[in-house]
Structure 1
């Protein structure tokens, strides 16, 4: 590996700017993350993209907002604009847990130190820049800006907030992945077009001042959603807005969205088409050092970098459309895949790193097994408004072949310096079940599953069925839990056939909209019956721009406008969480009391058979002899779901 000079990174100080011989900067980028020059870190991608357009770009990572704000002035005034991002994660997710407790670590800061990223970082940075440089345009982007581009519910303040363009005072917002809109922005600015005239660029949003003329575009249709002020008064109106927003975000030929915000008008232009293979290859082929900036050498490792240091991202986008997930809202539902050649070039670059020992930690993407998957007939996709391509069933027009991905894994493993490549990204297990994925050749699915289990897993295969309740799964836009049973059958069969000792680790979510205590009890009982003792679980966290968050705040499903109950209190959430840990001594009495109260002795027998003795009295009532005179009639029919053919084995 060649010796790196500080000039190999984008400059972060005046000294580094002068080392490049520059006397002026075109763009200064402010980021809530430490600067890691790697294609998995959005701020680095944006910096390198701007650099590839011939601009002189500098980056100010994690500027201090607790002193005289000198970090915002130290590089002077850029010729074109300031660019601002809160970082690779929404700062509120980075800073707080689902229970709103401040996190002990920040994965995107050296040594995991906290306190270097302010809450609502994009708005904080942007407002400071507008105060200090009122005449310089500020362009915001990244996950925080993208998901807060319209009226949204903010879980951490428990408020409905307007577009982040209003709170940040920024001049323009780029949503989604920024390469395509940035290219057009830069081209127009370089031609002398004033920033204030850039109103009709795809995948951007601006606030039009009162009385300002709406720019015309004969190629776009328009749609207006309920104003921010109406949303504040009417939760159903807020919910109905989201259907429009989500559908337009995932259409190839979308409408321009307008929303009144006070006396201003928010204008969200349609997105660009999905990146071509050539375009996404170009983004990943930029001259990244793949390393943190040398300024952090004495501050300790950056946890997020250490996690992906030897990983390869092979595609963007996700067509799952899960109700609780923000991936499609930011990256889109259509898959943009890199060429095998581009992936192998990056593998070769990783293999040259001094501390590479031959093991790639991940060959994946938002969902590991969606590489190269797209519509068979493009004209059908062109007209599609569905937010998911695989819920409630897999679209018959979707090519779900896993053969290109299997071949990619084999090509990567053929590299002379690669001993083993792992799949660390989440695998959609449902797409490996022929009964669900009827589009694919079952032999291909078996070949892929066998390839993963025999060559790309280290002891454990992690999948995310998310729940066992079909009504909850339907709202989540996830398939029935029966497909997890079928996948486990295939997993067990390959385990035996290949004499492996792999463990299957399922992930679940508690406190999701439509989920009640009995659903969690069912989940605990059914997974126990399958031989699982759950260790890692996730509480639902409402984040902007998801169906589940809209339901959480409004109480209405945005597509049906029917009421949906959601666990919201701290007690409700804690109670649901307890069912995951039925085997813990401190939870057993509570579980007995709760299930007795709702008449689900059938579940109690499954969960705690060793702690209870049962007998029928003459009235047909069930009595738990451990509880004093507790008698009841069941109002619910016991679950009749059977789990035949599965050996009970604790994993």
Structure 2
């Protein structure tokens, strides 16, 4: 195995006297392309840079941060694949007992607000070494943002981390451009032009193309101004139409967000995913039983990036962008064939997808020249007439993967957009999905059924889900298969009132759905839904949005979805009484009825 150095000894064995970059991460070191650390480090290696990995360092001293000596070009710092606060706390702010991105699933191996803590510790170790932060935590906190855990608006993480440059979005191209600039002798403070980055600057440097956002002081004092700022950021998160943004802090300082990087094209994605990853966690974790997060992705294939789905609760719009790109069929087949030669491969590919599995190309050709629409969604409230709805290439990919010797089954687990499926006049994909790619149950995400809530989620109406359910059932009946649907649902989403939760419970009861997974809405940085949660307004229209913030009501909304559980009886009855629906108590509180199983 040829992992990148994790110790001074590893450096010496490679004959390195000094590394170019120390990449610090809050995750355990897993050299698999589902982990951002693996991708960035291998990309830099490809361009000739020497990278050492400092995974989950002890942040209580500078000792680990000096392990490799002074890096020649700088520190690259991320918190891991997940925001460290989401990683550590449940939606009810209870500290989690496990960490799937740590060896053995052990919790407590990274600090809260890891990007800030690691960056400040690196600065303490080497005062004048450039610090570049990136990854999901930095990307979604790149400007002033509402922080659920502090329940206040926090500054750009670039300032609190005292970093020189922040990379947002998918950072491969920006990381290489920064490395080349530093390698040429340009000081970090002078690298202010690279797309997909945020740097410190002055409002005096604004040109006619720059948009000055409401100041940090304004968005702290006024929720309306916070919403205004979010709307401007949302509409300028595109590589073609987006403008440079400046967020002032006081009279002189500002955080400058440069225009986003264009999405990587197919050939570039192929090259990145074909780099020499080991596909494993570092051997130093074997004594702990490995890294649990690798289990789900070890035999999965990433086929695409970006998502034009536009769900308001999803941060991908802000991080990966709405313009989709995919890998070639040849590249994915090559990766799958390599899996079949592994001794631990049992013949099952766990997933072939991305943010949305059945998206394989940009929503429309217009996006390639004009960028994504600023004031229009691709799928909400219904599929745009310009959208190219076509599953044919994805079907070709799945068929070629199924035909590879040594592969028994190819699953699709990363989620499909059923509204996109139903908009396709050709039902070939749905038929082959049922026939070849489902293992008893298919998980789909209607999230809710109340039109009042779906409007704020930017999800299709319940009639689309009902149509999909009927089509899925009929196809399985024709195939002679007993396969079921499991709906993913969100409780207490902005806009969801108690009466909406009652409507959802009745729908589940009438259709014999028993949801396995229910997520209480979690306000994470960077999402439209979090903006609505904080401001209690729609940032694009200014209309008021009801938000359930009372803990007791949140518990009631969640209990209504799991009305069939005896332990929820009292909460369900209290919720129905509060909603003025005592008439439904016998309907939703009768636990003498046998559970009828998941809806087919």
Q: TM-score, normalised by structure 1?
A: 0.89
Other-structure match for 2:216:
228
Question: Runs in 1 of length 4+ with deviation above 6 angstroms?
Answer: 609-612
The structure 2 residue matched to 1:432, chosen from 421, 445, 461, is: 421
Other-structure match for 1:201:
194
Other-structure match for 1:622:
none
Other-structure match for 2:409:
420
Distance in 2 separating the partners of 1:69 and 1:188: 27
Other-structure match for 1:237:
225
Distance in 1 separating the partners of 2:376 and 2:180: 32
Q: Deviations over 1:458-498 (max 9, x none)?
A: 11100000001101101101010110000001011011100
8 Å Cα contact 2:238-2:372 kept in structure 1: no
Other-structure match for 2:246:
258
Q: CA deviation at 1:372?
A: 2.5
Other-structure match for 2:364:
375
Q: CA RMSD in A?
A: 1.9
Distance in 2 separating the partners of 1:546 and 1:31: 24
8 Å Cα contact 1:36-1:291 kept in structure 2: yes
Other-structure match for 2:8:
14
Distance in 2 separating the partners of 1:423 and 1:160: 38
The structure 2 residue matched to 1:49, chosen from 43, 50, 70, is: 43
Distance in 2 separating the partners of 1:451 and 1:575: 40
Q: CA deviation at 1:378?
A: 4.4
Other-structure match for 1:59:
53
Give the match's secondary structure for 1:249: coil
Other-structure match for 1:397:
386
8 Å Cα contact 1:319-1:334 kept in structure 2: yes
Distance 1:271 1:604, change over 3 A: same
The structure 1 residue matched to 2:96, chosen from 76, 90, 103, is: 103
8 Å Cα contact 1:199-1:215 kept in structure 2: no
The structure 2 residue matched to 1:530, chosen from 489, 507, 511, is: 511
Other-structure match for 2:280:
291
Q: CA deviation at 1:555?
A: 1.5
> What does residue range 263-412 of structure 1 map to in structure 2 within 5 Å?
263-378=252-367, 381-382=370-371, 384-386=373-375, 388-412=377-401
Distance in 2 separating the partners of 1:35 and 1:386: 41
Number of aligned pairs? 596
Q: Deviations over 1:142-168 (max 9, x none)?
A: 000000001101111112101001110
The structure 2 residue matched to 1:450, chosen from 431, 438, 451, is: 431
Give the match's secondary structure for 2:378: coil
The structure 2 residue matched to 1:115, chosen from 74, 97, 108, is: 108
Q: Deviations over 1:365-423 (max 9, x none)?
A: 11111122431334664362146321122122222201100110001111111111111
Give the match's secondary structure for 2:371: helix
Distance 1:471 1:380, change over 3 A: farther
Give the match's secondary structure for 1:83: strand
Distance 1:596 1:192, change over 3 A: closer
Q: CA deviation at 1:132?
A: 2.0
Q: CA deviation at 1:207?
A: 1.2
The structure 1 residue matched to 2:80, chosen from 54, 75, 87, is: 87
Asked if 1:607 is matched to 2:588, the reply is yes
The structure 2 residue matched to 1:247, chosen from 229, 235, 246, is: 235
Other-structure match for 1:588:
569
Other-structure match for 1:629:
none
Distance in 2 separating the partners of 1:611 and 1:453: 33
The structure 2 residue matched to 1:134, chosen from 96, 110, 127, is: 127
Q: Deviations over 1:93-138 (max 9, x none)?
A: 1111111111111010111000101100000000111122111110
The structure 2 residue matched to 1:183, chosen from 168, 176, 188, is: 176
Distance in 2 separating the partners of 1:520 and 1:326: 24
Other-structure match for 1:147:
140
Distance 1:483 1:261, change over 3 A: same
Q: CA deviation at 1:194?
A: 2.6
Distance 1:602 1:480, change over 3 A: farther
Give the match's secondary structure for 1:281: helix
Give the match's secondary structure for 2:501: helix
Give the match's secondary structure for 2:449: coil
Q: CA deviation at 1:251?
A: 5.2
Q: CA deviation at 1:356?
A: 0.5
Q: CA deviation at 1:242?
A: 0.4
Distance in 1 separating the partners of 2:173 and 2:67: 30
Give the match's secondary structure for 2:76: strand
Distance in 2 separating the partners of 1:507 and 1:412: 28
Q: Deviations over 1:621-642 (max 9, x none)?
A: xxxxxxxxxxxxxxxxxxxxxx
Distance 1:649 1:305, change over 3 A: closer
Distance in 2 separating the partners of 1:38 and 1:386: 37
Q: Deviations over 1:292-344 (max 9, x none)?
A: 11111212121110111111110011111111110121111111100111111
Q: CA deviation at 1:534?
A: 2.6
27-36 vs 395-404, which deviates more? 395-404
8 Å Cα contact 2:486-2:598 kept in structure 1: no
8 Å Cα contact 1:149-1:164 kept in structure 2: yes
Distance in 2 separating the partners of 1:65 and 1:129: 9
Larger radius of gyration between Structure 1 and Structure 2: 1
Where does structure 2 lack aligned partners over 5 or more consecutive residues?
none
Q: Deviations over 1:237-279 (max 9, x none)?
A: 0111101111111352310000112341110000111211111
8 Å Cα contact 1:333-1:387 kept in structure 2: no
Distance in 2 separating the partners of 1:305 and 1:193: 38
